[in-house]
Amino acid sequence: MNRKELKIRNLTELGLILLIIVLLGYLSSLISIRLDLTSEKRYSLSPATKEILRKLEHELYIQVYLDGDMPIGFKKMRTSITDMLEEFRVYSRKKMDFEFIDPSENQDPEVRNEIFMELAGKGLKPTNVQVTEKDGGTSQKILFPGLILNYNTMEMAVNLLKNNPALPAEQNLNNSVESLEYELISSIKNVSADTIFKVAFIEGHGELDEYQVADITMELARYYNIDRGVIGGKTGILDEYAAIVVAKPREPISEADKFVIDQYIMNGGKVLWLVEEVSVNWDSLVYTTSTVGMYSPLNIEDQLFKYGVRINPILIKDINCTLIPVNIALAGEQPEFAPVPWLYFPLMIPPENLPITRNINMIKGEFVNVLDTVGGSGRISKTFLLTSSKYSGTVNPPCLITLEEVRKTPEEGTLNQSFLPVAALLEGEFESIFKNRLVSDFLPSKEYEFRETSLPNRMIVIADGDIIRNEVSVRGDRIIPLPLDQDRYTNQSYGNKDFIVNCINYMLDQSDLMPLRSRELKLRLLDKSKINEYRIGLQMINTIFPVAIIIISGLVIRLLRKKKFEK
């Protein structure tokens, strides 16, 4: 072979090699192979998440407001968000893009405050943190650990920080990372859904008015279309709603309305019951320092019993309770208000092993009743969602309730009941309360088909109507609803809003997303006491040991080469 033919052959082989490399690169871009080698599958997405991302029809743009100088815990959270969004981008077939923004970047205080107000107006919650400056000093900085989704002209704010005051900061940040996939994909699902579920608040029986549930209504409106209305005994009037909320009725529910609700459940409708059967006038305590708790039946006792629960008309007193402002000054002296424990307002700690209640704050109740699981068909499973603390007791109506009780220590043996149930999730096939009963009075026509047994269904019963009620502030002619999850006197944050939203989301979940809330990531923290004890040794290992390994390796290689070439 002459010189020219050899050159042509080499060029041909080089061209083939380059062509093969290009083809392999192109094929690799079409095939996505991702391996998650972590024991917790930290970087693996659920099948439901992948399916939602694949079905995105329009471009999704995400603005994450977590950037700039911030504590190390939030930097780790930012890294987790980046990893998660990168995974989302791959499975969305590049229909998703995102960017990180530092809302504090602008040095002009007025502009920066305007940005803060705009983000807060969109629904992002600020948090105040302490950051270390370059000169070694510290300063306070406002962070907005959340993001805003932009999809097909729609916008939705998503808060990512789970801030439970009862837990250390490291645990709160870890809980935030655990629920990251659920918070992101559930929001993406809602903002990209073709149809939006409708949820109705029932009226006509003395339920909480629109101002008293305004905060939770605004929160639910991020996911659903919210309506209010009277049943009026009209069969089928609830059929267009995916779920209804019965929020603290104070008047008996008629048999006709019970029939409508019953058949709504039989046909797959979801119900969130927030009912109590002991009536207490809280305003009387404010003005007269005493009131009376009276038994107040609602004519739904037989209906709930048929579904598998019973509201016991007794009040819970709990040592784990919230604080209320009480005048502690003596008679005739200048009023002096101080926060004191009020046993009738228990704080319920949600279980961590359930998707509905995982990683949420304590739930505040007011004059809470006790719930029992009874009766019902054998095809119903029952799970308690909320209970009182280990040190609680009960009071039977009629009973006198007076503010003087805050000055007294509970008598020994009065708070000896533990974990009294307050809320329960019922799942299965429910049996109609009107089975084997004459229902011709409730049926408007023969066209309506009466069902004796429900489709597989879910409902949640809570023995306290005030869990969903927000306080209101009256300023002149204006009625201003206050945040449901914040106590107006102590500024303590509670998990009532998250709990109610999770209840509705769980009942209406169609993509099996709620189990994502049960994801557990182990928090691997360094032992600070051992760090302080072995600080010098650890510093030497981390600084000198790597250099020593390199030097020793170089000497060994030099000796081996010298020995080899000397032969």
**pLDDT at residue 2, as a whole number:** 66
Grouping H, G, I as helix, E, B as strand and the rest as coil, residue 487 is: coil
Mean per-residue pLDDT, 494-506: 92
On whether both 141 and 224 belong to a single domain, the answer is: no
**pLDDT at residue 41, as a whole number:** 63
On whether both 314 and 407 belong to a single domain, the answer is: yes
Q: Which of 191, 224, 247 is the last residue of a domain?
A: 191
Mean per-residue pLDDT, 541-554: 85
On whether both 187 and 201 belong to a single domain, the answer is: no
Tokens 């229902």 sit on residue: 439
* Within a domain: 540: no
Please report which confidence band the pLDDT of residue 255 belongs to, taking 50, 70 and 90 as the band edges. Answer: very high
pLDDT in tens, 124-138: 988 888 776 666 667
**pLDDT at residue 563, as a whole number:** 77
Cα–Cα dist 519/517, whole Å: 6
Q: What residues contact residue 161 under an 8 Å CB cut-off, 6+ apart?
A: 125, 127, 145, 146, 172, 173, 176
**pLDDT at residue 504, as a whole number:** 94
On whether both 486 and 506 belong to a single domain, the answer is: yes
On whether both 213 and 116 belong to a single domain, the answer is: no
Grouping H, G, I as helix, E, B as strand and the rest as coil, residue 359 is: coil
Mean per-residue pLDDT, 268-277: 96
Name which of 302, 246, 277 is nearest 461 in CA terms.
Answer: 246
Which tokens sit at 386?
Answer: 């909320």
**pLDDT at 304 exceeding the cut of 70:** yes
Cα–Cα dist 386/424, whole Å: 7
* Within a domain: 394: yes
* Within a domain: 359: yes
From the centroid of its chain, how far is CA 296?
Answer: 32
* Within a domain: 416: yes
Give the up-direction half-sphere exposure of residue 262: CA atoms within 13 A in the CB hemisphere: 28
* Within a domain: 205: yes
Q: Which of 175, 191, 207 is the last residue of a domain?
A: 191
Residue 38 Cα distances to 75, 346, 519, 522, 550, angstroms: 20, 41, 14, 11, 30
The two beta strands, 60-64 and 96-100, are parallel
Q: Which of 136, 163, 191 is the last residue of a domain?
A: 191
On whether both 162 and 238 belong to a single domain, the answer is: no
Cα–Cα dist 105/67, whole Å: 9
On whether both 211 and 279 belong to a single domain, the answer is: yes
Cα–Cα dist 282/212, whole Å: 15
This prediction has a pTM of: 0.80
* Within a domain: 246: yes
Structural domain including 124 reads 47-191
Tokens 């890294």 sit on residue: 79
Domain count along the chain: 2
**pLDDT at 339 exceeding the cut of 90:** no
Give the up-direction half-sphere exposure of residue 268: CA atoms within 13 A in the CB hemisphere: 7
The answer to whether 249 and 208 are in contact (CB under 8 A) is: no
User: How many C-beta neighbours within 10 Å does residue 41 have?
Assistant: 12
On whether both 271 and 143 belong to a single domain, the answer is: no
Grouping H, G, I as helix, E, B as strand and the rest as coil, residue 427 is: strand
On whether both 101 and 242 belong to a single domain, the answer is: no
Tokens 């209906």 sit on residue: 303
The answer to whether 385 and 421 are in contact (CB under 8 A) is: no
On whether both 245 and 369 belong to a single domain, the answer is: yes
Q: What residues contact residue 43 under an 8 Å CB cut-off, 6+ apart?
A: 34, 36, 83, 87
pLDDT in tens, 16-71: 888 888 888 777 666 656 666 566 566 678 888 888 999 899 999 999 999 888 88
User: How many C-beta neighbours within 10 Å does residue 412 have?
Assistant: 7
**pLDDT at residue 537, as a whole number:** 80
CATH number at residue 169: 3.40.30.10
Grouping H, G, I as helix, E, B as strand and the rest as coil, residue 447 is: coil
* Within a domain: 57: yes
**pLDDT at residue 290, as a whole number:** 86
Q: What residues contact residue 56 under an 8 Å CB cut-off, 6+ apart?
A: 92, 93, 95, 96, 151, 188, 192
Mean per-residue pLDDT, 271-288: 88
On whether both 275 and 396 belong to a single domain, the answer is: yes
* Within a domain: 26: no
On whether both 252 and 388 belong to a single domain, the answer is: yes
DSSP state letter for 456: S
